[in-house]
Amino acid sequence: MLLNRIAAITVSLAFFVLGASAFTFTAPAQEQTWAAHVTDDMCAKEHMMDGMTDPECAIACVEMGAALALFVEADDAVYAVDDQAKVGDFAGQDVTVTGVLSEDGTTVTVHSIEAR
């Protein structure tokens, strides 16, 4: 009888532990603000088309299939942008962006953007 109870408790604890491990709790990503330059993912840190301004080059690259991106000099990184429409009017410009960086550190979900 006692062994049956111990076995039942052991099995119950095992299910509890296994069930609890299925739920991982992660803190929500924190909103950040970056000083950035709206570029494209083809040219990235430096626009390469001779005779064009940064905005002209970024727009031309987007027309050729590139996506707009954010170059953050402080991080020496180029980040993808979750919503191209939010950054479209700022192609080739310096901006202040507030948003959340993806868990893998590659994409910014833009909450707000304004020219600097």
pLDDT of residue 27: 67
pLDDT greater at residue 75 or residue 5: 75
pLDDT of residue 25: 62
pLDDT of residue 21: 52
Choose among 110, 51, 105: nearest CA to 78. 105
Domain ranges of the chain: 32-115
Asked whether the predicted pLDDT for residue 18 surpasses 50, the reply is no
Write the pLDDT tens digit of every residue in 32-81: 999 999 999 999 988 888 899 999 999 999 999 999 999 999 999 999 99
Q: Under the phi-then-psi rule, with left for phi > 0, alpha for psi from -120 to 50, and beta for the rest, what region is 48?
A: alpha
CATH, domain 32-115, list 2.40.50, 2.60.40, 1.10.287, 2.30.42:
2.40.50
Report how far residue 55's alpha carbon sits from residue 89's, in angstroms, rounded to the nearest whole number: 10
**How does DSSP assign 27-75, residue by residue?**
PPPPPEEEEEEEEETTTTTS---TT--HHHHHHHHHHTT--EEEEETTT
